[in-house]
Amino acid sequence: MRFLAGIGAFVLGALAALGRIAIFAGQTASHLVRPPFYSREFAQALLNVGYLSLPVIGLTTIFTGGALALQIYAGGSRFNAEAVVPQIVAIGMVRELGPVLVGLMIAARVTSSIAAEIATMKVTEQIDALVTLSTNPMAYLTLPRVLAGVITVPLLTGVGDIIGIMGGWLVATQTLGFNSATYLSNTIDFLQASDIWSSLAKGAVFGFIATLMGCYFGMASGRGAQGVGKATKSSVEAAAVLILAANFLLTGVFFST
């Protein structure tokens, strides 16, 4: 009975946490239609979430695309199917690896940064000061960051998809002996519009999850340095798990037969 009670307590705790996150997301979204809107904070969030994430996104996806080409070539050679490298690299990067890798990199870089920043503001009573100045912390801190994530992460996903495919192209043409024009032609002919739109839609959802988790755990952090550290760790863990879970659900929705 203790074992079953432990499972029940875990499930109830998880459901309660999801409920709190859902309420937090609803409160954040409600400020889209309630002024004021802090455009300066939004512009700064666009820079931090989007532009400054490009280097790590580019490096991650180009190496992944190159490694994917090598693996597919090695596996395909067992069945005399080496020619499928461009098609599989393209669909693998656009449908799955591109969005997921971008989402996880954003969780590692942006979610942790947002959680640490907001948690530190809470510890140093800067959030209390905002309330004293009649500034809603949700509108000033949370909404601009979440909105920036929803807008910029799909763009980062598109860039990551392209760079990942180019990584596979570089390896295939420079190492594996593929013809460049044929490789690119096969890639373009194989991809469909639904693959691209699903990738961008995943990016928007992952950007929402990553930034929301940073804001939620930052706002809910405990006092002191230990509270900041715990909030940062929990935010990245939650963002990574939810991104992978959302990827599974979205893949089933987009590509179920």
- Show the DSSP H helices in the chain as ranges: 2-30, 39-49, 54-76, 85-91, 98-106, 112-123, 126-132, 137, 143-174, 180-190, 193-219, 224-255
Query: What is the rounded distance in angstroms from the CA atom of residue 61 to the CA atom of residue 52?
Result: 16
Tokens of 39: 């455009």
The model's pTM is 0.91
pLDDT of residue 257: 58
Distance (Å, rounded) from C-alpha 58 to C-alpha 48?
16
Residue closest to 172 by CA, chosen among 185, 189, 191: 185
CA pair distance 172, 144, nearest whole angstrom: 41
Residue whose tokens read 């999801």: 18
pLDDT tens-digit profile of 183-210?
A: 888 888 888 888 999 999 999 999 999 9
Q: For the chain, which ranges sit under pLDDT 70?
A: 257
Q: What is the pLDDT of residue 186?
A: 87
Query: Is the CB of residue 93 less than 8 Å from the CB of residue 61?
Result: yes
Q: What is the pLDDT of residue 124?
A: 87
